[in-house]
Amino acid sequence: MSARIYLIYLFIGAGLTACSFDIYQRGTPSYVDIRERTSTGNRIDTLVAPYQGELAEEMSRVIGKAEVDFVKQRPWGNLGNLVADAMLEHGRTLVSNNSIPVVCVLNHGGLRASLTKGEITVGDVFKLLPFDNELVLVQLPEEATKELFEWLKAGGGHPISGLKISGKEMKLSSGESLEQGVWVVTSDYLMNGGDHADFFQKGTNRISSNKMMRDVFLEYVEHVKVLKDNQDQRIVW
Amino acid sequence: MDRRSFVEKTLLGAGLVMGAPSLISASPAKRKSGRLTILHTNDTHSNIDPFPENHAKYPGLGGVARRYDLIQKIRSEEEHVLLLDSGDMFQGTPYFNRFGGELEMKVMSAMKYDMGTIGNHDFDGTMEGFVKAARYADFPFVCSNYEFTNTPMEESTRPYQIIERAGMKIGIFGLGVELAGLVPKKLYRETVYLDPVEMTQEVVGILRKKGVDMIICLSHLGYSYQSDKISDLRLAELTEGIDLILGGHTHTFLEKATPVQNKAGKITLVNQAGWAGIRLGRLDFDLEKKMFHASEGILVR
């Protein structure tokens, strides 16, 4: 294995008074190639190998199949629809009071990779959802849903489920209004103000799932086995 | 040696520009106690494997096996080496998600790290998780400004540690970033965050009484901010007595250590080595001239 070390020599040496920081003399940068590892079969390789093997095995485990490519798009896309639907499905099981509608709002930036048509592995899901964000629920009163709408608009669209935006209006996907407020399934990242989702601060109630979104999605894929295309146009400005 | 003045002495060689030290390039022969070589990392974030060769930003860089080789090579050339880490060893690859940090601790122990500190992501696997992983650490963690009383991490850190190296007594302490708003409360629990500036002056006072020759701060405060949030640069300015701050958190790649005029008008050096084990920071302290004479970021490749 070849290695290259990039060196920059810097020297403290010139005189210094209290207000002068001109103490570095920059040497000529030089490159030193290390053509081979200085110790082959080192202790680290031996240490890492079993973990690497176990991880490779786990990451390559096939958990389902994608019928099409799922891509990240704005204002909506089939990947955002898929992930938001999966989160909503799990979130619904955590709400005991069914009198208030449950919806899901995620952030576009939280989805880190596309899913390619074909077999889906655990590793693919780790690439899609690398952050250890927890799935949470926040109850929002109607006026906060207006801010949510503005946030979705300002961000150019984010993954949603259970909601539909057409033009200047946001409604439940059933077509009903949001006047009684909603339970929003989301990430603890957004709930805590990440991506400037400040409206979550107006939440009147919160539920933690104590479960990472990645684990929710892994279980979802394992459960449904086949991921079908979902071209539901949830956001049309 | 009068500790108070060693950085000052460092800077008294007016007009003197040292010749290029051969460092690791020229002679593999172990040199005679000419210098203390300080190697450091920060925000390694569970990057056990190198970045893939097709990675957009850091193709083929990093990886613990290469870092180990590099450190071993430097150790074979230098008599006095100090190896330190400034926190966020955890989180960033499935190695952490699946194994909870024990592999990170094992590889750092194999590299013979002398000390580390606690970063905000080192809470990610819960405090019990940290304690469990830290069983595999052969080195201590220092942190002066997290009060861990009544938490599972009560015994996990010490405020400072004195190490003897190259005939010098080196006092090392740690500073963590404010946890509220950054780390979920359920992860840091009853940990109390104490003011880094106050704690620095307190610890520096103690270390001086113990007659140390050099004071190093392992910081996870971050290099600098637009706001007046406490950072390594501000800490250096607002305190006195620290010779060297080895920082983290902001994933800052510095081409050279930053000299800051501290409260006493002396110089405190601040350095940071990027993140992910892409770089190994190196500073050499000339034992005869009592000066830091080189600093560099070595790309681990």
User: What Å distances lie between residue A165 and A15, A171, A184, B132, B213, CA to CA?
Assistant: 66, 6, 16, 48, 66
Confirm if B291 and A12 have CB atoms less than 8 A apart. Answer: yes
The answer to whether A25 touches A10, Cβ cutoff 8 Å, is yes
Which of B18, B97, B296 shows the shortest C-beta gap to A13?
A: B18
pLDDT > 60? residue A19:
no
Please, where are the H alpha helices in B165-244? 185-188, 196-209, 232-238
- Which chain B residues are Cβ-neighbours of A16 within 8 angstroms? 11, 14, 267
Q: Which amino acid belongs to residue A119? A: E
Q: What is the CATH superfamily name and number for domain B33-299?
A: Metallo-dependent phosphatases (3.60.21.10)
* pLDDT surpassing 60 at residue B15: no
Could you tell me the pTM of the whole model?
Answer: 0.75
Residue in chain A nearest B76 by alpha carbon: A38
A24, containing H or E segment: strand A24-26
How far, rounded to the nearest angstrom, does the alpha carbon of residue B283 sit from its chain's CA centroid? 11
In chain B, % of residues over pLDDT 70: 87
What distance in Å separates the CA atoms of residue B234 and residue B230, rounded to the nearest whole number?
6
How much is the pLDDT for B130? 98
- Is residue B33 pLDDT above 60, yes or no? no
Q: In the prediction, which pLDDT does B296 show?
A: 66
Residue B54 confidence (pLDDT): 74
Beta pairing, strands A118-121 & A62-66: antiparallel
Q: Average pLDDT, stretch A52-80?
A: 95
Query: For A105-163, what is each residue's pLDDT tens digit?
Result: 999 988 988 899 999 999 999 989 988 889 999 999 999 999 999 999 999 999 999 99
pLDDT tens, residue by residue, B50-106: 887 777 778 888 899 989 988 998 999 999 999 999 999 998 888 998 899 999 999
Structure tokens, B249: 């958190």
Give the DSSP letter of residue B26: S
Instruction: Take residue A150 and report the two structure tokens written for it.
Output: 């503005």
**Distance between CA B114 and CA B227 in Å, rounded?**
33
Q: Is B296 on the interface with A (CB under 8 A)?
A: yes
- Give B139 or B8, the one with higher predicted confidence: B139
Q: Would you say B216 and B114 are in contact if contact means Cβ atoms under 8 Å apart?
A: no
Q: Do B72 and A42 touch (CB under 8 A)?
A: yes
The pLDDT tens digits of the residues spanning B169-217 come to 999 999 999 998 788 788 999 999 999 999 999 999 999 999 999 999 9
Collapse the DSSP code of B124 into the 3-class scheme (helix H, G, I; strand E, B; otherwise coil) and give the result. coil
> Chain centroid to CA A46: how far?
33
Task: Mark residue B87 as left, alpha or beta (left: phi above 0; alpha: psi -120 to 50; beta: remaining).
Answer: left
Count interface pairs A-B at CB distance under 8 A. 142
Q: Does A38 touch chain B (CB under 8 A)?
A: yes
Mean pLDDT of B261-272: 94
CA distance A85 to chain B (A): 24
| Closest approach of A97 to chain B, Cα-based (Å) | 25
Is the preceding omega at residue B50 within 30 degrees of 0, hence cis?
no
Using CA atoms, how far apart are residues B42 and B47, in angstroms rounded to an integer?
Answer: 11
Write out the H or E segment, with its range, that includes residue B212: none
Structure tokens at B41: 């990392």
| Residue B11 pLDDT | 32
A-chain residues within 8 Å CB-CB of B291?
12-13
Query: What was the ipTM of the complex prediction?
Result: 0.84
Owner of token pair 């000299």: B259
Tell me which residue of A148, A149, A71, A150 sits closest to A111, measured CA to CA. Answer: A71
Residue A120: Cβ within 10 Å count = 24
Higher pLDDT, A47 or A99: A47
The residues that bridge with B174 in the sheet, in sequence order, are B218
Give the start-to-end residue ranges of the domains of chain B: 33-299
Q: Please, are residues A73 and A79 in contact by the beta-carbon 8 Å criterion?
A: yes
Residue B142: predicted pLDDT:
98
- Kindly indicate the confidence band of residue B20, based on its pLDDT and cuts at 50, 70 and 90: very low
Q: Which residues pair with A171 in a beta bridge?
A: A164
In A, which residues are within 8 Å of B10 by CB distance?
12
- Residue B34 pLDDT > 50: yes
The Cα–Cα gap between A159 and A154 comes to 14
The burial class, CB within 10 Å (0-12 / 13-18 / 19+), for B65 is buried
Res A5: pLDDT = 33
